[in-house]
Structures are given as structure tokens and as C-alpha cells.
Amino acid sequence: MSKTIKAEDLKSTIMDYLENYVEDIEDDVVDVTDKLTKEAVKEVKQNSPRGKGTREKPYYAGWTRQKEKSKHRYTIKIHNKTNYQLTHLLEFSHATRNGGRTKAIPHIRPIEEKYKKLYEQNIITAIRRR
């Protein structure tokens, strides 16, 4: 590319540059999102309670991530694929049959808050690099 641009080519040159810039930012966002969600799933699996029972698919092993991508939107949802019903009950406690309450085991929210901060920091760093 030459250092001088003709006046009639200025618009297309600026548009090309901006499109490339947006694509680079989108690639960085995808990379950061993939990396951090993999780490978050690992950590949730490690911190999830291990029950005394013998389930075929235990609660802690069911954590996974689901990707969705549209034109300018990239989303990853972390959820428990096998025992999704237990997440709220374990995180916030629940009533028992005899009128008591179980003890809450907060294992999702602390990790969520940690990775929200990390995600924000990493996205800002990736954008500033460009």
C-alpha cells in the first residue's frame, strides 16, 4: 500500500481499515472468551460439591459450555448439562421434608464474580493492543 491516497480512494481506504480493525477486535474477543470460559468451567468442576451418592453422571462432571455466534455477537453459556436442577438448590439452600433447611454451598457465584472481573480486564487489554 502506498503512503499517498487519492481523494477519491479515501473513503474506501478508511472503510477497509475500519472493517479490518473490527474483525481484529472480534477475533480478540472470541479468543479471550474461549480461554476464560474454559478456565471457568474447570474451576466450577473443581469447586462443585461431590455427593455421597453414586449417580451415573455426577453433578460436578456435568459442567459444560455452549457457544452461540451471530454476525457481531459471540456468546458462551456455562451450564450444568446433566443435573441442571441442582444448581439453584445447592447454591442457595432449600427446604427439607421435615421442615428444616439445607446448608447453602455457594460454588457458582464466587467464580462468576471472579471471571467477570478477569473478562473485563482482558477485553480492555485486547482492545488497547489494537
pTM score over 0.75: yes
Q: Pick 130 or 58 by higher pLDDT.
A: 58
Residue 116 lies in a domain: yes
Helix (H) / strand (E) containing 64: strand 63-69
pLDDT tens readout for residues 16-51: 999 999 889 989 999 999 999 999 999 999 999 987
pLDDT for the residue numbered 72 = 75
pLDDT for the residue numbered 2 = 55
CB 61 within 8 A of CB 82: yes
pLDDT for the residue numbered 9 = 85
Q: Pick 80 or 51 by higher pLDDT.
A: 80
- Whether 92 has a pLDDT exceeding 70, the answer reads yes
For 49, what's the count of Cα atoms within 13 Å in the CB-facing half-sphere?
16
| Contacts of 45 by beta carbon, 8 Å cutoff, 6+ apart | 60, 61, 63
Residue 65 lies in a domain: yes
pLDDT for the residue numbered 62 = 94
Count of domains in the chain? 1
Q: How far apart are CA 10 and CA 7, in angstroms?
A: 5
Residue 1 lies in a domain: no
Q: How far apart are CA 44 and CA 79, in angstroms?
A: 10
Domain that holds residue 45: 7-129
